[in-house]
Structure 1
Amino acid sequence: MQVKLLPDEAAETALRETLRLCNIAANHASRRAFDTGVMGKTSLQRLVYGELKQMGLSAQPTIHAVRKAAGAYATLKANLKAGKYGPEGSKRRIKAESTPVRFRKDAAQPFDDRCLSWQLDARTVSSWTVHGRLGRIGFQCSPEQMKLLTEYRRGESDLVFRGGNWYLYATCDIPEPDIREPEEGFLGVDLGIANIAVTSDGTVHAGKHLNRVRHRNRRLRQRLQKKGTKSAKRLLRKLSGREARFAADTNHFISKQLVTEAERTCRGIALEDLGGIRERVRLRKPQRVTLHSWSFAQLGAYIVYKAARAGVPVVFVDPGYTSQGCNACGHISKKNRPDQATFACMSCGFAEHADINAARNIATRGAAGWAVSHAADDAAWPVPARYGPELQARPPSGPRS
């Protein structure tokens, strides 16, 4: 849960210096871990605890700085194993393996309840800083956020400085409702580039505006990269953050509408399992940038967690031939798609918008997949692992058919 802090000038100075010192300490722990090969949380804490304390940190921030460094190396190891830095011997992989992890001077810092306390009635927080305990720092949030903070806040909160503003990311442990049975079937959702999401009901979330913004930003990035000055690099960083926020906001908006519609009509949501699509799909060079810049996984993850909070079942289906198969008769042929937007079955003559036909095929497969997965008592909720191990591992709840 993100809330915006409202510090005065003195409090802002203290928070900035606190964040800077915590990240200096985390960088020191990271270098020591890299030099010694000691990267476990407990063993690294034994190694550098005294050194970080001498920098001016108290006990709990010291422990959190160590854990942040250890966690970064655990993430790096997992990414190397998954091949996200390229194959063995590649320049990017060699650079990642041969240099210690570094943290920005304003990177986020976690605080537990010993360092940070909330006064929800007064809408203030008090926090440890390098200048001592700082109290009565105001924050603002919506009434819905305040309700969630009051009822479900647990554990750590992250102090974040972004875009010139201060935020706290509070962890809320919200119990999920039982996943209900899809009494009216499934809402099929076809994800794409020309149209971001199209439902089996015929609702189209067009991608024209999003793609126009991305094309404009890509042209600007090319000009700035060619220029290569310090000011150009600053603008590139700013542009990157702005585009990511724009894409996330768009995906939040679409996913909320899809889940609300499924909940209102007592249906589940059926999605294509698009894992590895970037490796499978062959496109011309001008189209590759559009494909690789579109966040398939993010939209899917947003749908999954919003659906889980609403008790809406989600299933992932095989995407093979959903665009070429006829929803009326089942005939599959490339000739059924004369162009990107048109579907005309060569067998029965059925005609429809191509993405709506694909979404209906997905809905049909979703209903069949749900029935199969719930036929046995030990069936698992079919969520791909990339959408979150906690969701992927969770067994289905609620009554079984």
Structure 2
Amino acid sequence: MPDAVQAPALSATLREVNEAACWVSRVAFERGIPREYELRKHTYAELKTRGLGAQAAQHVIKKVRDAYTALKANIRAGNLGKPGSRRRVRAESKPVMFRPEAAQPFDDRCLSWQYDARTVSIWTTAGRLRGVRFACSPGTFKTLREHRKGECDLIQRDGKFYLIAVCDIPEALPNENPAGFIGVDLGVVNIATTSTGYRAAGRGLNRHRKRQLDLRKKLQAKGTKSAKRLLKKRNRREQRHAANVNHVISKTIVSTAERTGHGVALEDLGGIRDRVRLRKGQRAQLHSWSFHQLGQFIAYKAKRAGVPLVYVDPAYTSQQCSECGHIDRKNRVDQATFACRACGAVMHADDNASHNLARKGETVWTAGRESRVPAAPQVAQTEEATRQPAAPYLQARSFTAGSS
């Protein structure tokens, strides 16, 4: 929460360090993206002449090198398409560029926290700024004060400044013997359905997304200054709403598992958007489905609470009967109804899938655990190993003596 004097200095600092990062990126691209130490030899002196401090210059170089490392990782993983594709060629044919308001890392030499005064002292290109106020929720402040560690990122978004602090929170002791697993079936109509009976309907979120999409279309078609101003004001509103919904759902699932001593079994849905073929009208709904974010929220909350988490193959979980195990495509009558052709069991389709996922989770957990068979004492093994080769040796000596 900088004042009228501090805000321009922070904004100018971000602009200058990101301009310097773009220059370093061009140098790295021209020289074949060298390693960080070699890149530092070509750029550090120039960054100092641009007015950057020693630590800020080092962070700019490291930020550029990390950006190219991430680019190479995405290329290797196939996230930018196959070799020769338009998107991949475009990414490989030009240097990485940084937005004027992109994040800039600060370590403890460049940024210090005064928790009692709720202020920070931060380096800028105009000098050290002291007494810059910050605000956060009481729970966040407690976590910040007790567990903050490492670097912080300064970003500017929609005219506001944010400090993203890294907090190293100790993990809870994992539950090595869960009483069972809660299967979580993910979907679009129902965002999450668990084997304990909890169902998070997606009707409200889908309605919100459709309303936001229609409003964006209407404002974009209008094209006036006031329409563009409203579009900018509503930027990322849908994204924030979806993230809040996922936080609520993930907290409910993990809290239930922690209270009952169960683990959580999640579907491994990686690559589903590449495998599924849909009509044009369904594509927007599929690509706005934030199942990966929900999975990430469940994963870190489970790790923090000590709840075991396993990923299972979702194949045939919607076609298999959770009562008798019979698999048939015709078991799935429609989106919401499951009726087994073998035993006649009728239930909600998502409930049936969640029970199958829970059973698969127990199987994966049992197969992946280390053996609990106690190892033989080390002393007994040593005595046995010493005794075994001695007998043949004595027999050989007696046989040789007898023959001579």
- Name the TM-score, length of structure 2 as normaliser: 0.87
Q: In the alignment, is residue 134 of structure 1 matched against residue 129 of structure 2?
A: yes
Aligned match of 2:49: 54
Higher relative contact order (CA 8 A, sep 6+): 1
After superposition, where does 1:1-400 map in structure 2 within 5 Å?
6-222=1-217, 241-376=236-371
Q: Deviations over 1:199-223 (max 9, x none)?
A: 1112110111111222233344556
Q: Give the distance between the partners of 1:82 and 1:231, measured in 2 at CA.
A: 42
Distance 1:227 1:246, change over 3 A: same
Q: 211-220 or 151-160: which moved more?
A: 211-220
Q: CA deviation at 1:142?
A: 2.4
- Residue pair 2:178, 2:308 contacting (<8 A) in 1 also: no
Q: CA deviation at 1:187?
A: 1.1
- Residue pair 2:266, 2:311 contacting (<8 A) in 1 also: yes
Q: Give the distance between the partners of 1:222 and 1:113, measured in 2 at CA.
A: 45
SS of aligned partner of 2:371: coil
Q: Which amino acid aligns with 2:185?
A: D
Q: 292-301 or 214-223: which moved more?
A: 214-223
Q: CA deviation at 1:181?
A: 3.0
Q: Give the distance between the partners of 2:234 and 2:75, measured in 1 at CA.
A: 28
Q: Which amino acid aligns with 2:305?
A: A
SS of aligned partner of 2:310: strand
Q: Give the distance between the partners of 1:256 and 1:163, measured in 2 at CA.
A: 29
- Name the TM-score, length of structure 1 as normaliser: 0.87
Q: Give the distance between the partners of 2:275 and 2:371, measured in 1 at CA.
A: 32
Q: Give the distance between the partners of 1:258 and 1:219, measured in 2 at CA.
A: 32
SS of aligned partner of 2:133: strand
Q: Among the aligned pairs, what percent are the same residue?
A: 57
- Residue pair 1:337, 1:343 contacting (<8 A) in 2 also: yes
Q: Which amino acid aligns with 1:265?
A: T
Q: Deviations over 1:275-312 (max 9, x none)?
A: 11112223222222211221221111111111000000
Q: Which amino acid aligns with 1:19?
A: L
Aligned residues, how many? Answer: 373
Distance 1:54 1:189, change over 3 A: same
Q: CA deviation at 1:234?
A: 7.5
Q: Give the distance between the partners of 1:336 and 1:254, measured in 2 at CA.
A: 28
Q: CA deviation at 1:161?
A: 1.2
Aligned match of 1:385: none
Q: CA deviation at 1:240?
A: 5.5
Q: CA deviation at 1:236?
A: 6.3
Structure 2: which 5+ residue stretches go unaligned? Answer: 373-404
Q: Give the distance between the partners of 1:329 and 1:215, measured in 2 at CA.
A: 40
Structure of higher CA gyration radius: 2
Distance 1:26 1:261, change over 3 A: same
Q: Which amino acid aligns with 1:315?
A: V
Q: CA deviation at 1:88?
A: 2.0
SS of aligned partner of 1:322: coil
Q: Deviations over 1:113-137 (max 9, x none)?
A: 0000011122111001111111111
SS of aligned partner of 2:261: coil
- Residue pair 2:55, 2:110 contacting (<8 A) in 1 also: yes
Q: CA deviation at 1:73?
A: 1.1
